[in-house]
Amino acid sequence: MNNRDKILIIDDELSPRESMRMVLRDRYNVSTASGGYEGLEFMERNAVDLVVLDIKMPGMDGITALKEIKKKYPDTEVILLTAFASLETAKSAVRFGALDYLTKPFDKDDVLTVVEKGLDKKRNSDRLKVEREKLLFRNRDLEAEVNKARENILMGYEGTIQALIKTIDAKDHYTFDHSEHVSRMSSTIADVLGLSKEAREKIEHAAAIHDIGKIGIDERILKKQGPLTDEEFSDMKQHPEIGTSIVQSVPLLEDAIPVILHHHERYDGNGYPAGLKGAAIPLNARIVIVADAVDAMMRARPYRGSLPMEKVLSELRDNAGTQFDPAIVDIILKDKVSLK
C-alpha cells in the first residue's frame, strides 16, 4: 500500500465514479470530480499522480480534458475509462498521451493492475527527475570549481609576469621603464591592426618581458656608457636566447617566446639570433621591434640625449623594409599611434 500516490477520478456518472473510488481507496489517496472543468480546477490546487478519466462526458469531453491535462501536467499519468462502444476512441486517445484504458463495466483486478502500472511509471519518472536535478546541481558545482581553477591559473599567470617584470627592474631600471612603454605601444599597434583583445593581452605581456634575458648579461655591459666592444656586443646578443631559456620552463609564458627570441631580427634578414626575414619573423615580434626602437630613440641615454620626434619618424621611414616591417612603420607614420 502506498498512501502517498494521489489519484483523481473524473467521471460525470456517480455510480461508476463511486465504484472506482471503492476499488482504489484502500491503497491510494483518491479524490473525485464530476467533469473535465472540475477535474482541471482540482489539479490546479492539488498534486495528482494519476487520473482515471471517463471519455464520454457532457461539457468538456474526456479527449479534450486529456489534452489539457497532458499539456499542463505532462508527468501525470492518465488512464481512460470507456464503454465498449467507444473503444476505438480510447485506443486513438493513447496517441494524445494516455497510458492505457479500461472498459466499463470494469474488473477490479484489471483496474488495480493498470493503475499500479501507471503509478509505477510516474514514480520512475519522479525518481529520474530528482536524479536529473541532483546532476544539474552537481554540474553547477563543477562549473564553479572549474571557474575558480581558471581564475587561479590566471592569477598565477599575472603573478609570474609581475615577478619577471620586477626581476628586470631590480637588475636594470632603464630596461623596466622601457619595457613598460614598449608594452603599451605594442598594444596600441596591435589594436590598430585589429587584433583581438586576447591577442593584444598576449603581446602586452610578451612586450613587457621581451628583454628578460638581460638579467643574464653582465651589469658592466648593460650599464656601460658608450659603444660596446665587439666582444661585449656579442655577449649582449645572447639576451634573446637567455630570455627564452628563462621562460621556456613556464608553459603559461610560451606565447611570449616568439617575441623574446626574435625581437632583434631585422626585416631584411640581417638581425639575430635566427636571421629571419620578412613575414617569417613572428608578427608580435615585428610589432615589438618597432615599438622597442621608437622608445629607445625617444629616451635619453647616458651617452646621448633623446632624439627629437622628427628624427625618430625619419629614422623609421628610412629603415622601413630594411630594419622594420613597413606596414607597422606606416601605422606610426600615419599618426595612428601616439608616441608619448
Chain residues binding Fe ion by CB under 5 A are 211
CB of 212 closer than 8 Å to CB of 247: yes
Compute the least distance from the CB of residue 164 to Fe ion, in Å: 14
Compute the least distance from the CB of residue 210 to Fe ion, in Å: 6
C-beta of 211 vs 265, nearer to Fe ion: 211
Pairwise CA distance, residues 103 & 283, whole Å = 80
Compute the least distance from the CB of residue 311 to Fe ion, in Å: 21
The secondary structure of residue 238, as a DSSP letter, is T
CB count within 10 Å of CB 309 equals 12
C-beta of 54 vs 211, nearer to Fe ion: 211
C-beta of 94 vs 274, nearer to Fe ion: 274
Compute the least distance from the CB of residue 268 to Fe ion, in Å: 18
83: enclosing H helix or E strand:
strand 77-83
Question: CB nearest Fe ion: which residue?
Answer: 211
C-beta of 84 vs 303, nearer to Fe ion: 303
Pairwise CA distance, residues 16 & 76, whole Å = 22
Pairwise CA distance, residues 34 & 14, whole Å = 8
CB of 6 closer than 8 Å to CB of 48: yes
The secondary structure of residue 53, as a DSSP letter, is E
C-beta of 102 vs 289, nearer to Fe ion: 289
The secondary structure of residue 320, as a DSSP letter, is B
Compute the least distance from the CB of residue 240 to Fe ion, in Å: 7
Count, residues in the chain: 340
Pairwise CA distance, residues 86 & 105, whole Å = 13
C-beta of 63 vs 289, nearer to Fe ion: 289
Residues 6+ apart with CB under 8 A from 297: 306, 307, 311, 312, 315
CB of 287 closer than 8 Å to CB of 203: yes
The secondary structure of residue 307, as a DSSP letter, is P
C-beta of 49 vs 211, nearer to Fe ion: 211
Handedness of CA 276, 278, 284, 286 (dihedral sign): positive
Compute the least distance from the CB of residue 165 to Fe ion, in Å: 15
Compute the least distance from the CB of residue 185 to Fe ion, in Å: 15
CB count within 10 Å of CB 201 equals 14
C-beta of 101 vs 174, nearer to Fe ion: 174
What phi and psi values does residue 147 have, to the nearest 5 degrees?
Answer: -60, -40
C-beta of 154 vs 228, nearer to Fe ion: 228
Compute the least distance from the CB of residue 263 to Fe ion, in Å: 5
CB of 73 closer than 8 Å to CB of 65: no
CB count within 10 Å of CB 287 equals 27
Compute the least distance from the CB of residue 229 to Fe ion, in Å: 18
